[in-house]
Structure 1
Amino acid sequence: MSVAQFDIDDDALERAMALSRVRTKKEAVNLALRFYAEQQERAARISRHFERARDWGAVEDAERFHSAENSR
């Protein structure tokens, strides 16, 4: 664990603490950092899956299916 001192948006911190129901600023900041990292990791995984699907031709198949369904 590292120690840091910096300015934080008080309104955003209060909102985050209220929504997450954490008791300390430290908990709120750590929760926000973990949440951000998890969101970015999830987005990267989705992107990799999308690229694989494009390589397999699945994206084009899905687009053709969607177009056919909409034209009915």
Structure 2
Amino acid sequence: MARTILDVDDDLLAEAAKILGTTTKKATITAALEAVVNRNKRGEFADWLKTGGLPDLTGGAGTAKPDAA
């Protein structure tokens, strides 16, 4: 893991910590980065679904033929 030094807005960090329920700067920044990455992945997944990402598994609901016994 790389060590990075940066300036962070204290008020913004405190607000993010409150929202995320974190208690340290490191935990807050990590949780915020994870939230951004996960939000993007959810958006990509939603786009995939919108473009037909899943096959139609309904089998044509209501068109099933009874078993010939």
Q: Output the TM-score relative to the length of structure 2.
A: 0.69
CA distance in structure 2 between the aligned counterparts of 1:34 and 1:40, rounded to whole angstroms: 10
> Secondary structure in 1 aligned to 2:51?
helix
Higher relative contact order (CA 8 A, sep 6+): 2
Structure 2 regions of 5+ residues with no counterpart?
57-69
Report the Cα offset of residue 52 of structure 1: 1.4
Structure 1 unaligned spans of 5+: 57-72
SS at match of 2:47: helix
Specify the alignment match of 1:19 in structure 2: 19
Q: CA deviation at 1:19?
A: 2.1
Distance in 1 of aligned mates of 2:38 and 2:18: 21
Tell me how far apart the structure 2 counterparts of residues 34 and 15 of structure 1 sit (CA, whole Å).
16
Q: Between Structure 1 and Structure 2, whose CA radius of gyration is higher? A: 2
Q: Report what 1:52 is aligned to.
A: 52
The alignment's TM-score, normalised by the length of structure 1, stands at 0.66
Aligned residues: 54
How far off is 1:20 after superposition? Answer: 2.1
| Letter of the 1:2 counterpart | A
Q: Which residue of 1 aligns with 2:5?
A: 5
CA distance in 2, matches of 1:2, 1:50: 38
